Structure 1
Amino acid sequence: MASTFDVSPETYASMSHWFKRQLFETPPEVSPRDVDLTGKTAIVTGANQGIGLEIARQLLDLGLKKLVIGVRDEAKGRAAAIELLQGRRLPPGAIEVWGLDMLSYDSVVSFAHRVSQLDQLEIVVLNAGIFRLERTINKSTGHEEDVQTNYLSLVLLLILLLPVLKAKNMARSPGKITIVSSDAAGMSKFQEQDADPLLPALDDKAANWEGQERYGTSKLLGQLFLAEIAKRIPPSVAVINGACPGLCRSSGLARDAQSSMIRYPLGIYFWLFGRVPSVGARVVVNAAVKQGTVSHGQVIDGGRLRPMAQLVYTTKGEEVAKRLWRETMDELSFAKVESIVEELSDKAGKPAK
């Protein structure tokens, strides 16, 4: 681990190191001299505002041929597409807006099916996320909405897109899936980690609730999943990595606060310590287009590999990750996700010993 990262997971998750990154580290920009995306197709979810919009803009700046924006509110998505088109000479249909509601399994499955009809696909950025200030249970699934959006639906979409990326790319030049993660994952207490089963404990209406803690936990679940999926899916199928863009202003993530008094102190906090979205987006774009197979199952920050939450690297974390994997496969069994993973795994097609 020490040879992989320039900082330990413990130090990376500390507030002092976070302040250092936020205030004194500037992620490198990916320029057309570094990467040429001419002729390529990308999908960015949650791209109607904030970091997602800037990720889309930066991918287009690198010469992208076609961009698909996956958004819950298609009207806002169309407005974002108009903004992205300004000053560009792109052919008709270069930017498409598709409906994607991460609170609905049916919407995720439909979106993935539509993606399979694309002529090509090289890059997927799973950016759509949510941060609830109050506990909110998703009526369609019964799960708490941070966990539903930031973890369960994200996993479903990612796995459903793996066969698409494999079919539309070659093993020597695999497609990429980048998950937008968060520094909050390493700061989460994850008080439910000993629960068995785990997912129902995250939906417990009687348990204590704190919005920042739950958001961090939902992102930590994503990191535990990233470590597990990388053990099963080789990078020749698709390079799967994460990116931590840091705290960013005008991200729209804490939109729940706009109707409460907390919006004032929160606004000051974002102004003092937040990056502008275009700077945070650099981290994600770097992970999505510049990092190679060495980033498979890893998280990127500042243009280099950085540690995930400390729990990920512990024996306890491995046990929690296995339990989470099993419960997640059961939860998403309606979409046959486990069969998809098995068919694409390193073991697929190998003769039994």
Structure 2
Amino acid sequence: MAATTTFTITPEKEASQLQFFRRQFLTTPPAVSPKDFDLRGKTAIVTGSNIGIGLECARQLLDLGLTTLILAVRDEAKGDAAAKDLSAGRTSLQPGQIQVWKLDLSSYPSVTAFAERARTALPQLHYLILNAGIYRVNMVINPATGHEEDMQTNYLSTALLVLLFIRVLSTKNAPASPGKIVMVSSDTAGWTTFAERDADPLLPAFDDKTAKWDMQMRYGASKLLGQLFLTELARRIPPSVAVVNAANPGFCYGSGLTRDAKGTLLGYVVDAYARIVGRSSAVGARTLVDAAVRKGRESHGQYVEDGEIGPMAPIVYKPEGARVMSRLWKETLDELSFAGVKEIVGQFSDRQ
């Protein structure tokens, strides 16, 4: 089980609705200042960066002087439009400073091809911010993998990227200054009922078409699995190889996450709620940039929120969570074994 001794708040209180509203209305994530961090000579990849939080994260990295920015997007035309937006008013941009690369998280071949491109084409890579995500209103099964799409995008493909890029980052950074991977997390990880927790095997339970569908619980479960995976990963991969953390930008309007409901009554209700309770995507992006740029080895395997390291969902710290974590880790590595992830973990576990 992960330790809770360094936290100033209990996991249970952190996961409360009252605490969520306090953060949304009374807390503003601190911005990373160019006076404190100069990213000249650095390279970063931001997934899902053509809109919302990802786009604003990319903008803030450029504001810090980032030399090379890779916009990893499913739709390259939208990526090109985002690059044009980011370039506006930046007279000192150099050719190739902003690049658009295709990445489709619904496709394992796309994920592995993307990682291989980064390995061979980038002379250096310092930051990988995994912002891309999906929030399905109704259950949709990915025809290529057979998995429910929230789980495919938010958990399985994201876990595959993390594992593949651990190897990539290890070859492009020295142990004294390791590269960083930021997994975007969510408050909802602490709210989900996680009805599938006792299923054995675990992952197939999320693909059961006969089970009751709840879009909020499923999205939260996909983010909870990310927290459980990260905790187990940090036990095996030392921060000298790569620092991997999870960052929660908070509930933001303009993120595009609820695009599945666009044009429906539900979509209008969610958009209205977001405008009342939500932060701007630019404010939410500050936490991602902070987790990548400001946070160091102390954040390895940890959850970052509003500039501070805090507790993940309560189950992560309980004996029940440890049992689920062990099952999830094995099943995840089995699912992704086609990409050599077991060998990657074995290679770097020896460096503990």
CA distance in 1, matches of 2:28, 2:275: 16
- Give the distance between the partners of 2:327 and 2:306, measured in 1 at CA: 31
* Counterpart position of 1:291: 295
DSSP-derived class of the 2:183 partner? strand
> For residue 340 of structure 1, what is the aligned residue in structure 2?
344
- The match for 1:234 among 215, 218, 238 is 238
Tell me, what secondary structure is at the counterpart of 2:251?
Answer: coil
Which of 308, 312, 332 in structure 1 is aligned with 2:316?
Answer: 312
1:165-209 per-position Cα deviation (integer Å, ceiling 9, x unaligned): 011101010000000100100111100000000011010000000
State how 1:114-263 maps to structure 2 within 5 Å.
114-117=117-120, 118-263=122-267
Q: For structure 2, which runs of at least 5 residues remain unmatched after alignment?
A: none
Aligned partners of 1:3, 1:314: CA distance in 2, in Å? 14
CA RMSD across the alignment: 0.9
8 Å CA contact retained: 2:315, 2:321: yes
TM superposition score normalised by structure 2: 0.98
Structure 1 position 98 matched with structure 2 position 101: yes
Q: Distance in 2 between matches of 1:188 and 1:232?
A: 27
* Residue 25 of structure 2 corresponds to residue 31 of structure 1: no
What per-residue deviation string (whole Å, max 9, x for no partner) do you get for residues 303-327 of structure 1? 1101100010011101101100100
Q: Is 2:45 aligned against 1:43?
A: yes
2:4 and 2:311 in contact (8 A); partners too: no
Deviations 1:235-290 (A, max 9, x none): 00000001000000010000011132112211111011000001000011000100
- Helix, strand or coil: the match of 1:43? strand
In the alignment, which residue of structure 2 is the partner of 1:16?
A: 18
Of 278, 281, 284, the residue aligned with 1:280 is: 284
Partners of 1:339 and 1:271 lie apart in 2 by: 46
**CA spacing shift, 1:317–1:2, aligned 2, 3 Å:** closer
SS at match of 1:193: helix
User: What SS does structure 1 have at the residue aligned with 2:196?
Assistant: coil
**In 1, distance between residues paired with 2:296 and 2:27?**
22
Paired with 1:64 and 1:12, the residues of 2 have a C-alpha distance of: 34
5+ long unaligned stretches in structure 1: none
2:116 is equivalent to residue 113 of structure 1: yes
Taking only the aligned residue pairs, the percentage that are identical comes to 57
Sort the Cα spacing of 1:100 and 1:141 in 2 relative to 1 into closer, same or farther, 3 A.
Answer: same
**1:15 Cα deviation from its structure 2 partner:** 0.3
Moved more, 146-155 or 33-42: 33-42
Q: Which residue of 2 aligns with 1:323?
A: 327
Shift of 1:28: 0.4
Q: What's the offset of the Cα at 1:2?
A: 5.1
**How far off is 1:3 after superposition?**
3.7
Query: 1:53 — aligned with what?
Result: 55
TM-score (norm. length: structure 1): 0.97
CA distance in 1, matches of 2:338, 2:175: 29
Structure 1 runs of 4+ off > 3 angstroms?
none
1:48 counterpart letter in structure 2: N
Q: Counterparts of 2:138 and 2:4 in 1: how far apart (Å)?
A: 39
- Contact kept, 8 Å, 2:249 with 2:287, in 1: the verdict is yes
1:109 to partner: Cα distance: 0.4
Counterpart CA distance in 1 for 2:217 and 2:227 is 15
Does the 8 Å contact 2:4/2:317 carry over to 1? no
